[in-house]
Amino acid sequence: MSNRTPTSILSSFQETAKFNFVWRINLVFTIVGFVMMIFTYLIQDRFFKYYVLVFVLTIGSLFFLKYLKTYKLVAKILYLVVSTVLGAAIFSVPESLHLQESLWMVVLILAAFFTLGNVWGCFYLLVNTIFYGIYYNYQFAGTAHISLTIRPDALFLLSIEFAVSMFLIGYVMFQYGLINKYAFKHASKAYENLNSEKQIVELQNREKTVLLQEIHHRVKNNMQVIVSLLRMQSREIISKEGKESFEDAITRIMTMSLIHQKMYEKESLIDLDVKDYLSTLINNLVKSNAVNKDISFTVNSSLKCVSAKNMVPLGLIINELVSNSIKHAFESIGRIELTLTPLEGTSFSLSYFDDGTWKENDKQTFGTQLIEVFTDQLDGTYEREIIDSGTYFHFTLIDDVGGENKL
């Protein structure tokens, strides 16, 4: 099976068609030039020398086409010389209407458009327009009043030129239509192939999505099993500090489990919705850890999503902040505000605020150590600011997996 694309096949077909066209039109010019050369010689016509030039030129073109296997250079030289010969015939042969030259010019212009492109086609169109513009404005006036006596052999010659030139005009248009038809055929085939490949890719993507969702579902279930085991184990612990440590561990595991739950629920597994995940996380933390407290929260995010890999440390940072606020900042009532804002490139800012009064601890707690560790994982920095109305945590973090942040 060929590995060539429809575009390369079409391009190859166009080049072959253009080469064949230049070869065939040269061949026709050679045959016609030879016949006209003999005929004009026999009738002693004034155009004999021009047919000799055309015949020699086309013979040389056929030779170069055969051995060089390239049509562009040959076509450029051929069209240029033919234009020169036609111009010379118009201006150097008096007492003639020069109608046949105009048809040869039409053939040449169409051939240039077809084989060399729009630039060369426009060039020859301009050149031949200038020829006839000069001829009709400065030379035709002396010819228009003469009485022409057209011999039968000259009339026959003129009819042959008209017939051949009209044939070549039709041949150029036929070749152009053939390429368009071929292009349309391959474009339709390419569309069908792309549509078929698209359906295969979509099916594969659906299968992979279902598989990954199942993996996330199993991971979430395994974490739930771990949480259940930890809770059963915590029942045997007598000390309050030990129970609190177990609860903190359970909370952190549930924070990671929530990510897998959200991934399982999503149709697309590329990125997670930040606001949805963090709102659910804070709501779960408040419900489970602030049973006798009235705590409200707000999540504001112009950052649409974060990669699943970086959502884990981000979620654990929020988990430690909210847990610490519930434990150490709020007595009975409180308010939490969380704001995420995209910065340049892949960076984003996280601002956490609570309006509670923290119980100062000179020693660095395990929770603050975790915040530092998870911040480092996100290649970020943070600072804490205490004001009269509450406490701020300002973070600058990097989501280096998900590409530039999306608004």
360 within a domain of the structure (yes/no):
yes
The residues with which 396 forms a beta bridge, in sequence order, are: 349, 381
Q: Which of 196, 216, 235 is the last residue of a domain?
A: 196
Is residue 238 a part of any domain in this protein? no
**Is residue 338 in a domain?**
yes
Distance of CA 231 to the CA centre of its chain: 53
Q: Hey, how many other C-beta atoms are within 10 angstroms of the C-beta on 365?
A: 13
Last residue of a domain, one of 157, 177, 196: 196
Q: Are 202 and 267 in contact (CB under 8 A)?
A: no
Contacts of residue 311, Cβ cutoff 8 Å, sequence gap at least 6 = 259, 272, 274, 277
Which amino acid makes up residue 176? Y
Residue 146: predicted pLDDT: 52
Does residue 240 fall inside a structural domain? no
Distance (Å, whole) CA 289 – CA 254: 13
Query: Is 286 found in the same domain as 373?
Result: yes
**Mapping DSSP to helix (H, G, I), strand (E, B) and coil, where does residue 18 land?**
helix
Beta bridge partners of 395: 350, 382
Do the domain assignments include residue 249?
no
Regarding whether 184 and 73 lie in a shared domain, the answer is yes
* The pLDDT of residue 271: 61
Domain match, 182 and 38 both: yes
According to DSSP, the β-strands at 305-307 and 333-342 are unpaired
Find the helix or strand (DSSP H, E) in which 341 lies: strand 333-342
User: Which H/E stretch holds residue 308?
Assistant: helix 308-328
Specify the DSSP class assigned to residue 295. Answer: E
**Which residue in this structure is represented by tokens 């950052």?**
303
Residue 201 counted as domain residue: no
Residue 364: its pLDDT value, please?
64
Find out whether 5 and 197 touch, Cβ atoms under 8 Å: no
Q: Are residues 179 and 310 in the same domain?
A: no
Number of domains in the chain: 2
Collect all residues with Cβ–Cβ distance below 8 Å to 379 and sequence separation of at least 6.
Answer: 397, 398, 400
Residue 221's identity, in one-letter code, is N
User: Same domain, yes or no, for 278 and 174?
Assistant: no
> Would you state the pLDDT for residue 246?
73
Q: What is the pLDDT along the chain (407 residues), one digit of tens a residue?
A: 444 454 555 466 667 777 877 787 778 778 877 887 887 788 777 778 877 887 888 888 888 888 887 778 888 877 788 788 777 777 777 666 666 777 777 777 777 877 777 788 788 778 877 777 777 667 665 655 555 555 566 556 656 665 666 666 666 777 666 667 776 777 777 778 888 888 888 777 777 766 766 766 677 677 777 777 777 777 777 777 777 777 777 777 777 777 667 666 665 545 667 888 888 888 888 887 766 788 888 999 888 778 777 888 888 888 888 888 888 788 888 889 999 998 888 889 999 999 888 765 545 677 788 888 889 988 899 998 888 888 899 999 987 654 444 44
290 and 183 within one domain: no
- Per the CB < 8 A criterion, the answer to whether 7 and 54 are in contact is no
Q: HSE of 275 in the Cβ direction (CA atoms, 13 Å)?
A: 11
* Beta strands 333-342 and 294-301, pairing class: parallel
| Domain co-membership, 183 together with 322 | no
* Pairing relationship of beta strands 305-307 and 271-273 according to DSSP bridges: antiparallel
Distance CA 334, CA 328 (A): 11
3-state SS class at 23: helix
Strand partners, 255: none
Q: What is the CATH number of the domain that holds 362?
A: 3.30.565.10
Name which of 403, 240, 384, 237 is nearest 320 in CA terms.
Answer: 384
Query: Domain check: are 183 and 281 in the same one?
Result: no
pTM: 0.49
Domain that holds residue 401: 271-407
Last residue in a domain, options 196, 218, 248: 196
Q: Cβ distance 71 to 65 under 8 Å?
A: yes
Instruction: Give the strand pairing for 390-398 and 381-387.
Output: antiparallel
Q: Considering only CA atoms, which of 126, 143, 125, 124 is closest in space to residue 135?
A: 143
Q: Do 382 and 282 lie in a common domain?
A: yes
- Residues 189 and 329 both lie in one domain: no
- Give CA–CA dist 361/23, Å, rounded: 93
Q: What letter represents residue 194's amino acid?
A: L
Residue 362: the pLDDT is 47
Residue 333 lies in a domain: yes
User: Which residues are within 8 A (CB) of 334 and not within 5 positions of it... i.e. 6 or more apart?
Assistant: 293, 294, 295, 296, 325, 326, 354, 355, 356
Q: Which of 86, 81, 107, 99 is nearest to 167 (CA)?
A: 107
Q: Which helix (H) or strand (E) holds 347?
A: strand 347-354
Q: How far apart are the first and last CA of the chain?
A: 46
Co-location of 281 and 398 in the same domain: yes
Based on the domain organization, do 46 and 178 belong to the same domain?
Answer: yes
Is there a contact between 297 and 336 (Cβ–Cβ < 8 Å)? Answer: yes
Contacts (Cβ under 8 Å, ≥6 apart) of 352: 318, 321, 336, 337, 338, 392, 393, 395
Residues making up the chain, counted from first to last: 407
Burial of 263 (0-12, 13-18, 19+ CB in 10 A): buried
